[in-house]
């Protein structure tokens, strides 16, 4: 990890939704170690209930969760004014409809078991594409 990458991530918000407390905590610790501002949620409903979640430019959410679909969560977030990008975690080859929806919004689809390095790269790429426009709107 370089000093430049550490400085780049300072204060950048990432919302993390995962129903598995062990996975959620491990990813939260990893993101905090990379100096992201992380808010983690056990459910999509908790994310949607938190008005501050609209201030974060990136959401990591499982496509299928115990309390509904990650795509439904993203639809609700966008309907409430959120303009960020999402990283959708899926355990299978994504359906064409999911791929098209992700492409339309600039979201990324990764395997649910994706390692830290790949996830960090996806977050950085997502924020690089949207961060300046995000600040102008927010």
Q: Where are the chain's structural domains?
A: 13-130
Rounded-to-integer distance, Cα 119 and Cα 134, Å: 21
Q: Where are the alpha helices (DSSP H) in the chain?
A: 3-9, 21-33, 44-49, 70-79, 96-105, 116-137
Fold of the 13-130 domain: Rossmann fold (3.40.50)
| pLDDT (tens place) for every residue of the chain, 138 residues total | 444 444 577 789 999 999 889 999 999 999 999 999 999 999 999 999 999 999 999 999 988 776 667 888 999 999 999 999 999 998 777 777 778 888 888 899 898 888 999 999 999 988 854 444 344 343
Whole-angstrom distance, CA of residue 64 vs CA of residue 32:
25
Residue 107 near residue 86, CB atoms below 8 Å: yes
Its pTM stands at 0.82
């Amino acid at each position: 990890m370089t000093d430049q990458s550490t400085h780049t991530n300072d204060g950048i918000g990432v919302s993390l939704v995962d129903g598995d407390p062990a996975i959620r905590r491990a990813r939260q610790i990893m993101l905090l170690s990379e100096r992201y501002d992380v808010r983690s949620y056990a459910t999509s409903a908790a994310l949607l209930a938190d008005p501050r979640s609209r201030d974060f430019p990136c959401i990591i959410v499982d496509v299928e969760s115990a309390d509904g679909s990650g795509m439904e969560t993203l639809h609700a977030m966008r309907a409430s004014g959120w303009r960020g990008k999402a990283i959708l975690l899926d355990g299978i080859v994504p359906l064409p409809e999911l791929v098209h929806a992700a492409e339309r919004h600039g979201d990324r689809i990764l395997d649910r078991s994706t390692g830290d390095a790949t996830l960090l790269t996806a977050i950085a790429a997502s924020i690089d594409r949207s961060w300046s426009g995000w600040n102008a709107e927010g």
